[in-house]
Amino acid sequence: MRAWQVVRHGRPSHALELVEAEEPVPGPGQIVVKARASVLNYNEVDGCHGRYLTINPPLPYTLGMECVGEVVATGPGQEAWLGRQVTSSGFGAVGAHADLVLASAAMTFNIPPGLSDAEAAAFFYPFHLAHLGLHERGRLAAGETVLVHAAAGGVGSAAVQLAVAAGATVIATVGNEEKAEFARGLGAHHVINYRKRNFAEAVLEITDGRGVDVCFDGVGGEIMLQSLRCLARGGRHLVVGFASGIEAEEVPMVNGRMLCFGNFDIVGVILAYTPPEIAGKIAGASGMPVPRFNPPTTDIAQGVQDHLLSLLDAGRIRPIVGGEVPFSDLPQALEAMEQRQTMGRIVLGR
């Protein structure tokens, strides 16, 4: 089968090669998806450069976090998935940019009715991650104010829509006017071009000095520290990602004084659904890259999916396909993403 593999570290056009790879064989908790589409993620850019320590398998390995297609093989106990049309995550968050994808059954959902493959590809990860952040971890309530960074991106655009659907006032940050218009079209009440003015000062002006109740931050680094300047008392800063530079994932940034005087919460968010019986065993397992790993469990996943489908059916959210590119153009598409030239989700066809 064809697979895009990271064979050396560097920019995507240097790091990636399209190779013939062995077909995957599913084990416990696994399925194999015959992919019709996969999705670009910024973490894959970091993977090409070799700077994403959380997902850092030995070279060579097949890149790609998500796919859409038909389940053609299953591991023991997963036979009910066979033949179903699904959106799924590559096992270990790799392997999706291939014809056949070894995927995690716990991170697999039926394609929502009425969606094309590209729309389905743009639905699963952004909306689940945004939902986990805003609702399961951020406890967002109607009438609160939400600051969404990188609002024109795949996950940011989902967060804007979910916050609007929840009855929140949304302040979005973007990097140019085209993205500003895009964010307004999603329902953002206020849009700040962070290249033209300090977003924290603008947020304080908009909120009459009070600050925001929730900050949805998929950028991290210095943006996180600036965001704490405009977080309200009792506010929740959601650490969703590190698009400004994955290195920030390893840097201690918040001290006790900040927390005491700020009187706010720093809240971690991860999308890595795990069966409850397994999650308890791996939470404090030795060898993990963190002191403790507490992933959301599959019972939470189904509740999130049900709520998202109800919003989708009601027309209150929609997947944002920013572009569709041929399978052969993956390296160039990832480099466009690295240069901040994309909006929404970029889907890789087959």
Query: Beta 61-62 vs 2-6: how paired, if at all?
Result: antiparallel
Which residues, including other chains, have CB under 8 Å from residue 250's CB and lie 6 or more apart? Answer: 53
40-52: average pLDDT: 94
For residue 90, the model assigns a pLDDT of: 97
For residue 156, the model assigns a pLDDT of: 96
pLDDT at 287 over 90: no
Same domain, 131 and 261: yes
44-62: average pLDDT: 93
Same domain, 324 and 295: no
Same domain, 251 and 131: yes
Both tokens of residue 156? 């940011």
C-alpha to C-alpha distance for 31 and 100, rounded to whole angstroms? 10
63-84: average pLDDT: 97
pLDDT at 331 over 80: yes
Overall number of domains in the chain: 3
pLDDT at 286 over 70: no
Q: Which domain holds residue 287?
A: 276-312
Query: Beta 16-20 vs 2-6: how paired, if at all?
Result: antiparallel
For residue 41, the model assigns a pLDDT of: 94
Domain boundary among 232, 248, 268: 268
Same domain, 20 and 86: yes
Same domain, 132 and 169: yes
Both tokens of residue 107? 């991170």
Same domain, 208 and 176: yes
Would you say the C-alpha torsion 38, 40, 43, 44 has a positive or negative sign? positive
For residue 183, the model assigns a pLDDT of: 97
Q: Helices 124-131 & 154-165, crossing angle to 10 degrees?
A: 50
pLDDT tens-digit series, residues 174-223: 999 999 999 999 999 999 999 999 999 999 999 999 999 999 999 999 99
Across 129-143, 251-265, 271-285, which has the greatest mean pLDDT? 129-143
pLDDT at 231 over 80: yes
Return the SS3 of 275.
coil
pTM above 0.85, yes or no: yes
Instruction: Report how far Cα 256 is from the mean position of its chain's Cα atoms.
Output: 29
157-173: average pLDDT: 98
pLDDT at 16 over 70: yes
For residue 346, the model assigns a pLDDT of: 95
Same domain, 257 and 286: no
224-247: average pLDDT: 93
pLDDT at 229 over 80: yes
Both tokens of residue 189? 């009440």
For residue 134, the model assigns a pLDDT of: 98
Which residues, including other chains, have CB under 8 Å from residue 327's CB and lie 6 or more apart? Answer: 2, 97, 348, 349, 350
For residue 236, the model assigns a pLDDT of: 98
Would you place residue 245 in the very low, low, confident or very high pLDDT band (cuts 50, 70, 90)?
Answer: confident
Lowest model confidence (mean pLDDT) among 21-30, 88-97, 157-166, 236-245 = 236-245
pLDDT at 283 over 90: no
Same domain, 229 and 159: yes
Amino acid in position 251: V
Same domain, 103 and 188: no
Same domain, 219 and 292: no
For residue 292, the model assigns a pLDDT of: 85
DSSP string, 54-113: SS-PPSSEE--SEEEEEEEEE-TT-GGGTT-EEEEEEGGG---SBSEEEEEEEEEEEPPT
Q: Which domain CATH number covers 222?
A: 3.40.50.720
pLDDT tens-digit series, residues 297-308: 999 999 999 999
Above pLDDT 90, what percent of the chain?
Answer: 87
Q: Which domain CATH number covers 75?
A: 3.90.180.10
pLDDT tens-digit series, residues 96-153: 999 999 999 999 999 999 999 999 999 999 999 999 999 999 999 999 999 999 999 9
Which residues, including other chains, have CB under 8 Å from residue 266's CB and lie 6 or more apart? Answer: 237, 239, 254, 259
Would you place residue 320 in the very low, low, confident or very high pLDDT band (cuts 50, 70, 90)?
Answer: very high
pLDDT at 277 over 90: no
58-80: average pLDDT: 97
The residue among 293, 290, 292 whose CA lies nearest residue 249 is: 290
Same domain, 147 and 103: no
Return the SS3 of 186.
coil
Same domain, 224 and 164: yes
Which residues, including other chains, have CB under 8 Å from residue 191's CB and lie 6 or more apart? Answer: 151, 171, 172, 173, 174, 180, 183, 184
Both tokens of residue 82? 């066979």
For residue 217, the model assigns a pLDDT of: 97
Are the beta carbons of 237 and 265 closer than 8 angstroms?
yes
Domain boundary among 202, 237, 268: 268
